[in-house]
């Protein structure tokens, strides 16, 4: 069931920490006016800083913006500082208060009826025989991303307790408000001082991600001419009808429900308005920046054509970049990905390299100069009461972190990082 004796050894401490962390309500809230957006995140941050100090990371501290930062000093010289990052908040999209985790020992892979909310988990035959953790059914579990937090904590505790093992300086950061896209907002890359970092915020065993969507938001505002419908003849120009026509003209196969793999899309997620003014909100996504641009332009052109045929109406189109595909920032530092591959294989796991049809904190951090691919956590079905986590997979992630520390003390990785230049290819 476990990927290695090391993973099995880490599992009890990891599970204890995970069950403790998920009980703290750290749900973030959109449209924040301060960091973090909710106080519960500070409660968990304080707990983590205390536990890090108890492990022996003397500088562990929670800052005023809700970031926990700590250092585990190196045991070998000339190794670069490497970052380990996870987020403390949980999604605003499912209930997050009062999480009561349930451990299902030796899960049979079938359907589990949870005690509350009529929630059913499974079947998940690939996890048959695993100990798994779920919520009680009326909340999310919060494995996203407390699995990542607990894995980093368990790995760091193990390394701190085994000073004979080779390791570089490890810089730990637990961030707030990832789920509302603000995790990197107040992240001080300079002060963090790492040559590369890893978020533990993925899902299935072996995932190693260095590519995300490029993302933008498009807002189309249509101003019509309102008039009393009783004597609107020849006067009324209905903005809502124009909005409907624009949406109807967009290609039906360029939508999230008709695309997968490396295909991008235009997703109209909100349509609101009146005869006088209507607003279409859409997100555009693609792995290719030129195609992303083309999706946004298609929406703009369609809106302008429809409105041009309706004298008296006006249209304004705004395109707001959201996050960039992280690959073009990470590919300048290929050793950061290579080190993760080597650590996974040392744990007996074949790396699973597939692009993320979404974003991750690492995308913005990589653009800010800290190359940060994403690793799996063993949590699944995020942002829902059906969320669950596999203990053997979580333990595999923690063990991978321990092995990653060793990999970064190997001569070729030390050289690549300290040279602050990419490895020759």
Min dist CB 41 to Zn ion, Å, is 13
Q: Which of 206, 13, 203, 170 is nearest to 76 (CA)?
A: 170
Question: Residue 327 CB, nearest distance to Zn ion (Å)?
Answer: 19
Least distance in angstroms from the C-beta of 355 to Zn ion = 16
Q: Which one among 25, 144, 207, 393 touches Zn ion, defined by CB under 5 A?
A: 144
Nearer to Zn ion, 22 or 237 (CB): 22
Q: Which residue among 131, 178, 210, 211 is the active-site one?
A: 178
CA distance 392 to 271: 44
Nearer to Zn ion, 51 or 145 (CB): 145
* Candidates 89, 131, 201, 361; catalytic one: 89
> How far is residue 319 from each of residues 12, 38, 214, 278, 283, measured CA to CA in Å?
49, 29, 13, 17, 9
Residue 177 or 201 with smaller CB distance to Zn ion: 201
Token pair, residue 101, equals 């985790």
Q: Toward Zn ion, which CB reaches closer, 25 or 145?
A: 145
Nearer to Zn ion, 145 or 211 (CB): 145
Token pair 């603000």 in the structure block, residue: 182
Size of the site for Zn ion (CB under 5 A): 3
Q: How far is the CB of 274 from Zn ion (least distance, A)?
A: 38
89 binding Zn ion? (CB under 5 A): no
CB of 386 to Zn ion, least distance (A): 16
Residues β-bridged to residue 173: 69, 85
Helices (H), 235-380: 239-249, 289-308, 327-330, 334-346, 361-367
Structure tokens at 422: 């990419």
User: CA distances (Å), 118 to each of 138, 290, 379, 385, 398, in order?
Assistant: 8, 45, 21, 10, 32
286 binding Zn ion? (CB under 5 A) = no
Contact 412, 249 (CB under 8 A): no
The stretch near Zn ion (CB under 5 A) out of 141-149, 150-158, 331-339, 362-370 is 141-149
174 close to 48: Cβ distance less than 8 angstroms: yes
Site for Zn ion in 184-213 (CB under 5 A): 201
**Three-state secondary structure call for residue 145:** helix
Residues 337-376 that bind Zn ion (CB under 5 A): none
Give dist(CA 16, CA 22) in Å, integer: 10
User: Closest approach of Cβ 187 to Zn ion, in Å?
Assistant: 15
CA–CA dist 12, 15 (Å, integer): 5
Beta bridge partner(s), residue 172: 70, 84
Q: Is residue 145 part of the contact set for Zn ion (CB under 5 A)?
A: yes
Give the angle subtended at the CA of 220 by the CAs of 215 and 226, to the nearest 5°.
Answer: 165
* 178 annotated active-site: yes
Which region, judged by CB under 5 A, interacts with Zn ion, from 144-152, 159-167, 362-370, 372-380?
144-152
User: Near Zn ion by CB under 5 A, which window of 121-129, 140-148, 212-220, 318-326?
Assistant: 140-148
- Give catalytic status of residue 89 as yes or no: yes
The piece of 139-147, 154-162, 256-264, 270-278 that touches Zn ion (CB under 5 A) is 139-147
Q: Write the CB contacts of 182 (distance below 8 Å, at least 6 apart in sequence).
A: 32, 35, 37, 176
Residue closer to Zn ion (CB basis): 314 or 357: 357
Min dist CB 62 to Zn ion, Å, is 20
Give the binding range for Zn ion (CB under 5 A) out of 53-61, 136-144, 163-171, 334-342: 136-144
- Which residue's CB is nearer to Zn ion, number 2 or number 382? 382
Which residues of this protein are in contact with Zn ion, per CB under 5 A?
A: 144-145, 201
- Catalytic amino acids? 89, 178
């Amino acid at each position: 069931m476990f990927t290695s004796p090391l993973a099995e050894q880490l599992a009890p401490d990891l599970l204890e920490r995970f069950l403790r962390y998920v009980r703290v309500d750290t749900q973030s809230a959109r449209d924040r006016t301060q960091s973090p957006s909710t106080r519960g995140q500070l409660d968990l941050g304080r707990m983590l800083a205390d536990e890090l100090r108890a492990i022996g990371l003397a500088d562990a501290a929670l800052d005023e913006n809700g970031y926990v930062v700590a250092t585990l000093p190196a045991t070998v010289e000339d190794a670069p500082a490497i970052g380990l990052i996870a987020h403390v908040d949980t999604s605003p999209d499912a209930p997050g208060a009062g999480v009561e985790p349930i451990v299902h020992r030796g899960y049979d892979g079938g359907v589990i009826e949870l005690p509350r909310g009529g929630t059913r988990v499974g079947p998940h035959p690939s996890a048959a025989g695993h100990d798994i953790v779920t919520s009680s059914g009326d909340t999310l579990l919060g494995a996203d991303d407390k699995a990542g937090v607990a894995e980093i904590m368990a790995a760091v505790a193990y390394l701190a307790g085994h000073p004979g093992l080779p390791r570089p300086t490890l810089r730990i950061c637990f961030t707030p408000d990832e789920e509302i896209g603000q995790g990197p907002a107040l992240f001080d890359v300079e002060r963090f001082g790492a040559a590369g970092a890893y978020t533990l915020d993925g899902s299935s065993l072996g995932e190693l991600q260095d590519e995300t969507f490029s993302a933008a938001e498009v807002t189309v505002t249509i101003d019509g001419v309102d008039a009393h419908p009783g004597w609107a003849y020849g006067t009324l120009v209905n903005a809502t009808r124009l909005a409907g026509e624009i949406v109807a003209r967009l290609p039906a196969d360029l939508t999230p429900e008709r695309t997968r793999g490396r295909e991008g899309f235009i997703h109209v997620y909100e349509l609101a308005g009146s005869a006088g003014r209507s607003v279409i909100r859409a997100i555009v996504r693609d792995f290719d920046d030129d195609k992303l641009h083309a999706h946004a332009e298609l929406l703009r052109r369609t809106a302008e054509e429809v409105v041009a045929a309706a004298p008296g109406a006006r249209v304004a189109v705004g395109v707001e970049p959201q996050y960039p595909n992280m690959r073009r920032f990470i590919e300048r530092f290929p050793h950061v990905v290579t080190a993760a591959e080597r650590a996974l294989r040392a744990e007996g796991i074949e790396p699973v390299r597939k692009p993320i049809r979404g974003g991750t904190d690492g995308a913005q951090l990589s653009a800010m100069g800290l190359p940060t691919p994403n690793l799996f956590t063993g949590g699944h079905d995020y942002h829902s009461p059906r969320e669950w986590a596999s203990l053997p997979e979580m333990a595999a992630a923690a063990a991978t972190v321990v092995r990653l520390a060793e990999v970064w003390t190997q001569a070729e990785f030390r050289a690549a990082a300290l040279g602050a230049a990419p490895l020759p290819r």
